[in-house]
Amino acid sequence: MIESPVTVLRRHGLEARKSWGQHFLHAMHVHASIARSVGAREGQRVVEIGSGLGTLTAHLLEAGADVWSIERDRDLCEVLRKEFGDQPNFKLHEADAVKFDYASAAEDGIRPNIAGNLPYHLTGPLLFRMLEAQAVTGTWVILIQKEVAQRLCAPPGNKTYGGITVGLSRVRDISMVMPVPPGAFAPPPRVDSAVVMLARREAPRGEVPDEARFLSLVRTAFQMRRKTLSNALRPLGSREEVEAWCATADVDPKLRPERITVEGFAAIARARDA
């Protein structure tokens, strides 16, 4: 039987670190849904971000997955070693998830999937770090703040559509798995959460010459999202240059960034680097 995180906390004499934004998910049906959605099974490697007290870890291991656990809290790492250290398909990485090399889990032709309950204050940096390894990783299933989940799933023209939406949806099909209320956590956060799946696309929405320059262009555009594209992209070139890129890409430079599709941004990136 898989124990609740509250029981494990008490047994090890620990408390959640508020300064680290620790909220331990105790709703077993949510853990089960994450494990199922990420494809946990025998022979499948799953990199788990922020293993915490190991409740999701236990579900992944029970399904037969090869689990690479990432946790930076030393006390929680000790808990994980005591709980799972004798299991051959469990490997603990005592590391900062924002700095972790996710591509390293793709050794020997393995395409690892990624799962985890992401710290809300680190969601953006973690997603961009994972994006660096998107070509060699499989499905991602993450638990994040509901507001951020809605932003990731937003279509062009929606007020929450932004740079991270464009950057991720070019190479990932993003869908909502389930909402998660505050009461599913201990201690409960002050916001609603949601489980989101980011499935790898076989072909991106628009080819780009350079991934880093594409993401830089997108970030620049959305830093001034209320301005027209011709003004928002001025840090990257003169008005004439920006309008020339847009003309080549068949994109109206008078539109605001939030109105531009993923394919449109990719076309601008290609015109810029031509």
Model confidence pLDDT, tens digit, residues 146-166: 999 999 999 999 999 999 999
In whole angstroms, what separates CA 76 from the centre of its chain?
22
List Cα–Cα distances, 129 to 77, 102, 133, 143, 146, in angstroms: 22, 8, 7, 16, 20
CATH code, residues 211-273: 1.10.8.100
Model confidence pLDDT, tens digit, residues 57-69: 999 999 999 999 9
DSSP state string for 71-120: E--HHHHHHHHHHHTT-TTEEEEES-TTT--GGGGGGGG---EEEEE--G
Q: What is the pLDDT of residue 7?
A: 73
Q: Alpha-carbon distance 202 to 270, whole Å? A: 20
Per-residue pLDDT tens digits of the chain, which is 274 residues long:
677 776 776 776 766 666 566 788 999 999 999 999 999 999 999 999 999 899 999 999 999 999 999 999 999 999 999 999 999 999 999 999 999 999 999 987 899 999 999 988 899 999 999 999 999 999 999 999 999 999 999 999 999 999 999 999 999 999 999 999 999 998 899 999 999 999 999 999 999 999 999 999 999 999 998 999 999 999 999 999 999 999 999 999 999 999 999 999 999 999 999 9
Q: What is the pLDDT of residue 4?
A: 78
Q: Alpha-carbon distance 232 to 235, whole Å? A: 8
Q: Alpha-carbon distance 18 to 238, whole Å? A: 47
What's the CATH class of domain 5-200? alpha beta
Q: Alpha-carbon distance 271 to 216, whole Å? A: 15
Task: Tell me which residue of 92, 42, 45, 86 sits closest to 72, measured CA to CA.
Answer: 92
Q: Alpha-carbon distance 105 to 126, whole Å? A: 16
Count of beta carbons in the 10 Å neighbourhood of residue 203:
7
> Helix (H, G, I), strand (E, B), or coil: what is residue 67?
strand
Q: What is the pLDDT of residue 258?
A: 96
> Helix (H, G, I), strand (E, B), or coil: what is residue 3?
coil
Q: For the chain, what are the domain ranges?
A: 5-200, 211-273
Burial of 23 (0-12, 13-18, 19+ CB in 10 A): buried
Q: Alpha-carbon distance 63 to 33, whole Å? A: 12
The one-letter amino acid at 121: H
Q: What is the pLDDT of residue 79?
A: 92
